[in-house]
Structure 1
Amino acid sequence: MGKLMLTNLPVFLRIGLFSVILAVLGIIYFSFKNNGKGCLLSNNKEKNKKEITKEKKKTLTLNVVQPIPLDVKNPSQIVPITNCNKIIPVFYKNPIDFKGLSKKERKEKFIAYMLPQILIVNHEIEENRRIVLRIKKKFEEGKEITENEERFLNNLLKKYKVKSVNELLSRLNTNPPSLVLAQAIAETGWGTSRFYLEGRNAFGITAIRKKGNTIKMKGANIYLRKYKYVINSIRDYYYSINVSWAFKKFRKVRLTTKNPLELSRHLTLYSTLRRIYIKRIKKILRENSLDKFDKCRIDPSFIREMNYE
C-alpha cells in the first residue's frame, strides 16, 4: 500500500482536515492557558494564606527594663539618687540594715534603696497595661489580633482573675511611687523591722496559714510571707492591691487620680490599725515630701526591646 499524501486528497478534504487540526491545537492552547491561570491563582491563594499566618504569628515586642543586680553589705554601697529622670534600675539581692544610721541618713539611704526597685515593678505593670490598651484599640477598630497578642491577653486575664479587658485594666495599674514608699516606710520602720531584715518583706504581707516560706510573728499565731528578694515583695504587694476585694474601691479611685493623699484614704483595710494607719501614711507622705519622687523615671538606656514568646 502506498503512503498517504495530503496532496493526493481532494481539496475539500484537505481543508476539512486542516480545520480539525487547528481546532485541536486551539483546545490544547486554551486548556494549557486556563490551567496556567488556575495554578497562578492557586499559588496566590497559598501565598496569601502564608502571609495571613505570618501576620497571625507576628512577634509581640515589649520594652523591658534590664536591671542591675547588686549584692551589697552596708548602706554606703547603695547607689545614690542623683537624677530623678534617670534612675539606675538597681535591684538589691539582700536587705540592708539601716539601724546604725542617723535619722537623716537612714531616710536618704532607704529611699535610694527602695525607689529603683519600685520603679522597676511599676515599669513592668505599665508596659503590660500599654500592650493591653493597644489590643483593646484593635478590638474597637474591628481589627484582628495576632496569636501572640491573644496569648498575652489571656495570660493576664487569668493572672488577674478577670474575664474582660475593662476589668483587667482596672487591676493592671500602678500606684504613685510616693505612696508605695510611704507604705514600705511604715511597714519596715525605715528598713529596721525584723520581717524586712529576715523575710525581705517590705510591706507586712501576711500568709493565710503556715505554708511555704513564712516567718512567725512573736507572741501571735500570725505568719508573714518570706521572699528571696525585696523586689519580689514589691510585686506581691501590687498583686494584693490589684486583685484583693479589700481594695476594690481603691482601684476604682485610682482610675481617676494618682494623688497619693487621696488614694491613701482608701487603704483602710490594708492594716488592722485602720484609720490610724491612714493617718500614719499621710504623715509620712507630707513630712518627707515623697510626692517629689512621683516624677522619677528609669534611665531609658536600661530599657530594651524584647520579644514576647
Structure 2
Amino acid sequence: MDIREFLKIERFFGGFHKYTFAIVLSPIIIFALIVISQYSSNPAAPSVIKPLPQNPVTVFPDFTKIVNVDDKKRQFLDYMQGFLDAENQEIMILRSRLLEIRENIERGTPSIKETAEVANLSETYRIDHEGMTIAAMIDELLLRVDLIPVSMALAQAANESAWGTSRFTIEGNNVFGQWCYEEGCGIVPSRRISGATHEVRYFDTVEKSVESYFLNINTHDSYAYLRDLRFKMRARGLKLDPMSLSIGLGRYSQRGAGYVDEIQRIIIQNDLRERDVPPNQA
C-alpha cells in the first residue's frame, strides 16, 4: 500500500475515534453541568425535624442539631403544636359532654351513667365532690375542663425546655419542667441544692408530658386565678386571651412576675397568638 493512502486511512480513523469519544463524553458533561447548576441555584435547605413515626412518641427529637436559631424555634413550635392541639380537642370533647349532661339534668333526673361520668371526671380533675350535687360538680368541672391557649402553652414549653434542647426534655420527655418528689420518679438536677428532694419528672411519652401539664394548670390551686379569668372570658363570649391568662402563671416559677414577663415576651416576639384557634372554636 502506498504510504500516502495509509496516512489518509490513519487520519480518518483517528478523527473517527475523537468524534466517537466526544459523543460518549458529551452527555456526561451535560449531566454534570445540570447537577452543578441546580445545586448552586438551590442551596441546601435546613434540616427538618418531624415527629417521629411512633405512636405514642417516646423519643424527643434532638433540636440541638439545628444550628439556625430561627429554624430551630419554628420547628420546635410546629412540632409541639400538634400535641397541644390534640389535647385541647380531647378537652373540648369532655366539655361538650358536660354541657350535654347539664342540659339533660335541667330536663329531669340524671341517669346512673351520667352521674358516674361526672363523678369519675371530678376525681380526675381533683374535685372533692363528697356531698356535692351533680349540678354543682358540673359547674366546678366547667371551670377546669377547658382549653389552654396554644400560644401560652407553646411559650411555656419553649421557656421550660430551652426550645427543646434541655437535658430533661431530651432524656425524659419533660417539656414543661414539672417536678416530682418520689425518689427515682425523674432526673435529679445537677444543681439541686443540698437537702432538696425534688426531681425533674420523667415521662414515657411526649403526650404524657402534655397531658400532665394541662391537668396541672386545670387543677392545681396555684392556677385558680387563671381558671377564674378564663371562666369570666367565657361568660362574656370573649376569645381566651393568652396575655391576660398568663398573669395567672406567677406561681409556676420561683421567678414569679419575672416569669410572667418572660412568657408574655415569648408570645409577642414569636407571634404565637397567630397559632391560637379562631374565636368561633374557642
User: Is residue 197 of structure 2 the alignment partner of residue 193 of structure 1?
Assistant: no
* Contact 1:187-1:204 at 8 Å conserved across structures: yes
Shift of 1:77: 4.5
Q: Partner letter of residue 129 of structure 1?
A: R
Deviations 1:157-200 (Å, cap 9, x if unpaired)? 12112222111111111211111101000001110111111111
Task: Give me the CA root mean square deviation.
Answer: 2.0
Which residue does the alignment assign to 2:77? 111
1:121 to 74, 82, 87: 87
Cα separation, 2, equivalents of 1:294 and 1:103: 23
Which residue does the alignment assign to 1:148? 113
Structure 1 alignment gaps of length 5 or more: 1-74, 80-89, 297-309
Cα separation, 1, equivalents of 2:56 and 2:151: 18
Deviations 1:260-308 (Å, cap 9, x if unpaired)? 0000111100001111111100110000000111127xxxxxxxxxxxx
TM-score, normalising length: structure 2? 0.71
User: Is residue 117 of structure 2 the alignment partner of residue 159 of structure 1?
Assistant: no
- SS of the aligned residue for 2:276 comes to helix
Q: Partner letter of residue 132 of structure 1?
A: L
Cα separation, 1, equivalents of 2:184 and 2:89: 28
- SS of the aligned residue for 2:115 comes to helix
Cα separation, 1, equivalents of 2:184 and 2:91: 26
- SS of the aligned residue for 1:292 comes to helix
Which residue does the alignment assign to 2:260? 278
1:243 to 216, 219, 223: 219
Q: Partner letter of residue 280 of structure 1?
A: E
* Contact 1:91-1:117 at 8 Å conserved across structures: no
Which residue does the alignment assign to 1:36? none
Which residue does the alignment assign to 2:105? 139
- SS of the aligned residue for 1:161 comes to coil
TM-score, normalising length: structure 1? 0.65
Q: Partner letter of residue 216 of structure 1?
A: V
Which residue does the alignment assign to 2:26? none
2:247 to 238, 258, 265: 265
1:180 to 146, 153, 176: 153
Cα separation, 2, equivalents of 1:119 and 1:174: 10
Larger relative helix fraction: 2
Show the 5 A alignment for 1:39-118.
76-78=48-50, 92-101=57-66, 102-118=68-84
Q: Which has the larger radius of gyration?
A: 1
Deviations 1:204-229 (Å, cap 9, x if unpaired)? 0011x234531111121331110001
Which residue does the alignment assign to 2:188? 216
Cα separation, 1, equivalents of 2:253 and 2:61: 24
Larger relative strand fraction: 1
Which residue does the alignment assign to 1:287? 269
Aligned residues: 212
Runs of 4+ in 1 over 6 A off after TM superposition: none
Shift of 1:231: 1.3
